[in-house]
Amino acid sequence: MNNGMSLSEISIYPIKSLAGVSLSKSEVYPEGLKRDRMMMLVDENGLFISQRKFPQLALLKVALTATGVKISMPDSNSIEIGDASFLEDKMDVRIWSDHCVTFVAIGEINLWFSQFLDAPVRLIKYDNKNPRATDPKYSNQNDIVSFADGFPLLIISQASLDDLNSKLDEPVSMRNFRPNLVVNNCEAFAEDSWNRIKIGAITFEAVKLCSRCIMTTVNPLSGKKSERGEPYKTLSQYRLIEGKVCLGMNLIPRNKGLIAVGDTLRHL
């Protein structure tokens, strides 16, 4: 075990598929980091949308406020979203194969996002009284998750990204892969073999390698997909595991508490 491993980055994504927010510390809850992916955009049929179909979502910047978030377009047009931005009415939505009961935002909020995307969408918020379950094949019966793709947290080692970038003509940033946690001082892809780890005072189970998709080809600065299909194309040439292109490890927290940049990471 490398005793030098430590947490170098913490990120949350308050609205799924929008830009992330970098933090120095964060509270950990059963469903993930505080305020991580607790909101999401859906289409007219209640199906979640992401950068896979709307890569320009990457251009919507997110800033935390005392009561919610402020979302800004590239032209600085912005809108603030808080608890008062959502109706008491519930809406059934679908994220992958999961159906969730959620709160829906007021018309002004939905119009703002719809105009940016030039498509009718609604913003919805997670209902803690109707939690979403994780995949039972990889978790316990009562494990829950926010609107993240499948599990509460995603961790990637800096060495894994460095290894990938050594094979690319144009390096990419960690933002292409949207992890919650980045760890340094370990070997590339060390996270592949983790089973149970502790960061600070929080214990996590490492339950499943993260399979990647074309969303990794979206440039977080331009909001456009790579015409060459990078970095997914290169990653697929040497990170194909059980038929999936993988980078990073999904985590489920086993207790609540605080984590911070600089915390030691160790195996259990």
pLDDT tens by residue, 244-257? 999 999 999 999 99
Tally of CB atoms within 10 A around 176:
21
SS3 33: strand
Please, what is the end-to-end C-alpha distance for the chain in angstroms?
10
Q: What average pLDDT does range 235-244 have in this prediction?
A: 97
pLDDT attached to residue 2: 43
Paired strand residues for 100: 93
How would residue 107 be classed by pLDDT, with cut points 50, 70 and 90? very high
Q: What average pLDDT does range 93-119 have in this prediction?
A: 98
Identify whether 109 is part of a domain: yes
pLDDT tops 60 at residue 171 = yes
pLDDT attached to residue 101: 97
Domain total in the chain: 1
Above pLDDT 70, what percent of the chain?
99
Identify whether 1 is part of a domain: no
Q: Mean pLDDT, the chain, as a whole number?
A: 97
Above pLDDT 90, what percent of the chain?
99
Identify whether 216 is part of a domain: yes
Identify whether 251 is part of a domain: yes
Structural domain of residue 57, as residue ranges? 6-267
pLDDT tens-digit map of 185-225: 999 999 999 999 999 999 999 999 999 999 999 999 999 99
Find the CATH number of the domain harbouring 17.
Answer: 2.40.33.20
How would residue 3 be classed by pLDDT, with cut points 50, 70 and 90? low
Identify whether 199 is part of a domain: yes
Identify whether 225 is part of a domain: yes
Asked if the peptide bond before residue 171 counts as cis, ω within 30 degrees of 0, the response is no
Placement of tokens 């990653």 in the chain? 235
CA angle 32, 154, 66 (to 5 degrees): 45
Model pTM score: 0.96
Identify whether 98 is part of a domain: yes
pLDDT attached to residue 1: 41
Identify whether 91 is part of a domain: yes
